[in-house]
Structure 1
Amino acid sequence: MKEITENLHITKIFVKNAGELIPLIGGDFQIVNGECWEEVAFAALLALRSFERGTNHARTLGGELLLRLAGTLQIKDAIAKHGVRDGENYLVVFGSRNRAGGILAELNLEELPMTDCGAEKSKRFFEKAALVEVL
């Protein structure tokens, strides 16, 4: 699990049945599909900042995270591109490390080793996530 800030934690997980998890997602956590943790972390930081500044487009942090990750203002498209799927995903917790551990236990999720992007991919992802700022 990576601590991005004191109240933002990300870990790679294995999801056996996305359909069972979807109704449980919300509040202080989101599960997203992404290529690497840096992509997800940057989008999560932008989502948090948008709420702090009052420039958010979605009603929830999880929704804003999906928009930033997809680089679009259409939530339907964002969910299609980066919503939770069976297999490898990222758990994003807008809370403490203890809360993140609690969610892993409550949802019986298996943690996996994190995947790095590499410099070129990271740059591309950062540009895409920042697009929502100017839309």
Structure 2
Amino acid sequence: MARSQYLSFVHAVIAAIKPDISTEDMDENWEKLRFFLPDNLVLAALDLIDRDSVVKYCAPWGRVRYEVLGSTATYTVFPQLPSPDSDIMAYCTCPSFTYSVLLSKSQLMCKHVLATLLAERLQKCVERPVTADELASTVTRCFS
């Protein structure tokens, strides 16, 4: 099976998660995620969510940016890329994403991407409104 199909399955499981979902249904979704992703990846993503490490910056005109506060640095996450032909559906600026997802292709995503996708579905992102200047600063920081 192609990577893009696995990613589609993972995204479908994540899309089924809702903030008010029953414990029974949530357990079933966690089991499905654990089928496609390593346990340590799922647990690390949930830990980031529990520590309120997923930050959603909301610009007044509707633009949204995500950052995840890691243990050693802050990483910018792009949870949905506009390229339907690619087997990469998200991007993170962390070294793990570069090595494990892009180079060795040993994982479908890093813990920061998974945490962002799950936090968004569970409505657990720490939301911060930003001005145009503040958003420009986060973009500049991402590419420096």
Same fold (TM over 0.5): no
TM-score (norm 1): 0.29
Report which structure shows greater RCO (CA 8 Å, sep ≥6): 1
